[in-house]
Structure 1
Amino acid sequence: KPFPLGMVLSACPEIVNYGPGGHVTSWRDLMSAAIVVRSMLGVSPSAYEEACGILGPENAATVIACILERAGHINSAGGYLRDLSRRAERGEFSLGPMLMAQMRGQAGAKVGTTSKAG
């Protein structure tokens, strides 16, 4: 079951730029954006299809959005997605903690830009 779209976009705002017309207002928009980003990150169609089959299309798109946010820290987005898919298949990966960590990172980034050092 997918997380609320608003939560995903709050945690992963960069994906919005790749939606139709630079907007993401529905799951369909997010999944379209994920396909653009998948290609941009060098994730093969087969790795993404595998993730969609295991996680479901909404959750696979959410994982791509999370990977986009951390692209500078991930050497192989395709390898990472395949690893997460395999772990999910074995019941060793849940999207919730990944999304929550991303939300905390966004909140920290916002606080960091507005607070003064004490």
Structure 2
Amino acid sequence: MKDEGPDALPLAIVLKAAPDIGHYAADPLQSWQDLTTMADFVRPMLGITAENWQFARQRLGDRTARIALACILQRFSAIRNPGAYLRRLTLVEDFRPGPMVMALLRSADPARG
């Protein structure tokens, strides 16, 4: 499955890059299950249909889809149609979320600005 392996991202890095998803939680996100819960909670707020979400999870893998959703939420103001954006990501052959996460980390780093 795409979610595991040597290029799997640590949760702490994902949350550092995309902290906005944690704003919806009553307590700090500390596990992949916590991210799962929050992704399922914010998905409809982003206008991502249940069908599109299910397709993304099947095509990308659960963890990768949730990382992508957290990144989409982080850039929500710059993404006109989050559902279409997610759908487009599912069509990318061998999609990996690492570049998305790293781009967010670089954009948040004031030393790079």
| Same fold, judged at TM 0.5 (above) | yes
Higher relative contact order (CA closer than 8 Å, sequence separation 6+): 2
Structure 2: gaps spanning 5 or more residues: none
Shift of 1:22: 3.7
Report SS of the residue matched to 1:43.
Answer: coil
User: Can you list the C-alpha shifts for 1:28-74, whole angstroms capped at 9, x where unaligned?
Assistant: 00011011111111100111111111111111111111001110011
Q: Which runs of 4 or more aligned residues in structure 1 lie more than 4 Å from their structure 2 counterparts after TM superposition?
A: none
Aligned to 2:59: 54
Match of 2:108 in 1: 106
Alpha-carbon offset, residue 14 of structure 1: 0.6
Between the aligned partners of 1:18 and 1:51, the Cα distance in structure 2 is 22
Deviation at 1:75, TM superposition (A): 0.8
Alpha-carbon RMSD across the aligned residues, in angstroms, is 1.5
Unpaired segments ≥5 residues, structure 1: 113-118
Aligned residues: percent identity?
38
What's 1:81 paired with? 86
Contact 2:64 2:96 in 1 (8 A): no
Q: TM-score, normalised by structure 1?
A: 0.83
| 1:13 paired to 2:15 | no
1:94: how far off?
2.3
Residues 66-112 of structure 1: per-residue CA shift (max 9 Å, x gap): 0011100111100000000011xx23x3211111101111223xx59
